C-alpha cells in the first residue's frame, strides 16, 4: 500500500514514520511530502531511502492513504485535492475537526462510523484524545454529566522550535529564538493557542467541542484550562467527572482496567502513578490517582497521561489507517 506522510520532516511527521515501522503498517511505498523548501531531501524508512516531494507530486503518485500533519492552512488547501483524486486523508490539524460533514475519530470509541465515502477524516486534538479514551468507558457505565479538566502540556505539542527554546534556556539560561512570548524553563504558561472572545483559549474550546462530537453526546458539559509546562514526553491532565449515576470505586478500576488502550497505574502506597517520562514513546493512555470527590456526590477525580506525539497524534492517525485497512475501506 502506498502511504503519503504530509509534513514528514516535522515533529509529528517524524513520529508517524516511527509508528508506521513499529506497528508494521503495510507500507509498500512511502511518499514523504513537505513544502517546496524541503522537496528533494532524502529520508530513510525501513532501510530504504525516499525523496521528499511536494503535495502536487504526491497526488500524481496516487497513494492509497495520506497522513497529514503539516498545519491547518496546508490541510485546508491540499486535503480536498487529495480527496478529489480518490486518496483517503487522515488529517492531524484542527482544520476539519468541527466540520459537520467530517468524522472526528478515536478508533477505540467511534471508528465504526467510518465508511468508504469518508475521504477526509479528522484526528482530534492531542489533549482531547487521551481524555476521551478514559471518559468513554466511564460514560457508557455511569453517564457523564460534567467534566472539569486542567491540562499540563508538553512543549512537544508546540513543535521543534519550542523544544529548542526549552533546551536552550536549560543549557544557556536564555533562547534567542522564542516559540513562546515568555521563558518556558522553570515557568508555567497558562495559555495554549489564542484567546477567544469568551476568555478561554482555542485549545480549551477544542476540548469542549471535540469531546461532545467524539462521544456523540452534546449533553456532556466540559470546562477546561490548558497550561504549557517545561516538560517533554507527554501531556498530563487533572480531570474531575460528575456522573448522572452512582459508582463504586472498585467498579471504576475494573472498567478502566478492561478498557481498550488504557493502562491503570494507581498504587499510592508505593507512589505509583502516571508520569510523562513513563508515557514517553508509548501508545497507551495511562490513568491513576483515581479517587472519589468527597465534596459532592457521584463525582470522581483522576489523572491522565499520554505521549502527545503518539496517541495524541501519530499513533491515533495510524490506528485510523489500520481500521480502514482491516475493514477493506482502503487499499
Contact 137, 259 (CB under 8 A): yes
Q: Which residue has the cell 513562546?
A: 180
Contact 31, 63 (CB under 8 A): yes
Three-state DSSP state, 47: coil
How many angstroms separate the CA atoms of 203 and 248, rounded? 33
Q: Which of 126, 162, 256, 320 is catalytic?
A: 126
Active site residue 139: no
Q: For residue 107, what is its C-alpha cell? A: 478508533
- CB contact set of 275 (below 8 Å; sequence gap of 6+): 236, 305
Between the CA atoms of 300, 305, 310 and 312, what dihedral angle is there, to the nearest 10 degrees?
40
Cα–Cα separations (whole angstroms), residue 127 to 151, 174, 264, 281, 309 = 7, 28, 18, 16, 11
Active site residue 126: yes
Three-state DSSP state, 51: strand
Q: Which residue has the cell 467498579?
A: 251
Give the strand pairing for 88-91 and 120-122. Answer: parallel
Q: Which residue has the cell 477546561?
A: 224
Q: How many residues does the chain have?
A: 331
Contact 244, 145 (CB under 8 A): yes
Q: Which of 102, 213, 228, 235 is catalytic?
A: 235
Provide the annotated active-site residues.
Answer: 126, 235
Amino acid at each position: 500500500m502506498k502511504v503519503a506522510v504530509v509534513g514528514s520532516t516535522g515533529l509529528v511527521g517524524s513520529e508517524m514514520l516511527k509508528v508506521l515501522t513499529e506497528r508494521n503498517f503495510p507500507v509498500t511505498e512511502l511518499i514523504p511530502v513537505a513544502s517546496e523548501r524541503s522537496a528533494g531531501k532524502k529520508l530513510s524508512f525501513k532501510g530504504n531511502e525516499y525523496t521528499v516531494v511536494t503535495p502536487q507530486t504526491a497526488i500524481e503518485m496516487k497513494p492509497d492513504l495520506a497522513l497529514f500533519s503539516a498545519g491547518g492552512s496546508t490541510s485546508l488547501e491540499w486535503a480536498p485535492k487529495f480527496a478529489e483524486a480518490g486518496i483517503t486523508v487522515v488529517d492531524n490539524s484542527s482544520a476539519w475537526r468541527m466540520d459537520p460533514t467530517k468524522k472526528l475519530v478515536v478508533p477505540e470509541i467511534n471508528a465504526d462510523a467510518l465508511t468508504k465515502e469518508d475521504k477526509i477524516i479528522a484526528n482530534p486534538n492531542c489533549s482531547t484524545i487521551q481524555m476521551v479514551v478514559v471518559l468513554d468507558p466511564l460514560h457508557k457505565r455511569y453517564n457523564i454529566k460534567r467534566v472539569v479538566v486542567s491540562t499540563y502540556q508538553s512543549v512537544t505539542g508546540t513543535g521543534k522550535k519550542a523544544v529548542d527554546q526549552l533546551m536552550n534556556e536549560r543549557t544557556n539560561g536564555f533562547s534567542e529564538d522564542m516559540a513562546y512570548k515568555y521563558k518556558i524553563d522553570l515557568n508555567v504558561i497558562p495559555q495554549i493557542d489564542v484567546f477567544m472572545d469568551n476568555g478561554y483559549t482555542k485549545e480549551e474550546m477544542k476540548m469542549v467541542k471535540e469531546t461532545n462530537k467524539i462521544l456523540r453526546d452534546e449533553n456532556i458539559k466540559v470546562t477546561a484550562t490548558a497550561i504549557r509546562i517545561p516538560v517533554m514526553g507527554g501531556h498530563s491532565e487533572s480531570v474531575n467527572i460528575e456522573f448522572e449515576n452512582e459508582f463504586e470505586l472498585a467498579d471504576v478500576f475494573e472498567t478502566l482496567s478492561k478498557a481498550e488502550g488504557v493502562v491503570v497505574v494507581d498504587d499510592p502506597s508505593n507512589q505509583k502513578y502516571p508520569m510523562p517520562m513513563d508515557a514517553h514513546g508509548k501508545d497507551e493512555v495511562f490513568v491513576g490517582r483515581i479517587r472519589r470527590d468527597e465534596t459532592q456526590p457521584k463525582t470522581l477525580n483522576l489523572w491522565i497521561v499520554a505521549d502527545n506525539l503518539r496517541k495524541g497524534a501519530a499513533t491515533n492517525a495510524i490506528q485510523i489507517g489500520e481500521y480502514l485497512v482491516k475493514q477493506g475501506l482502503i487499499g
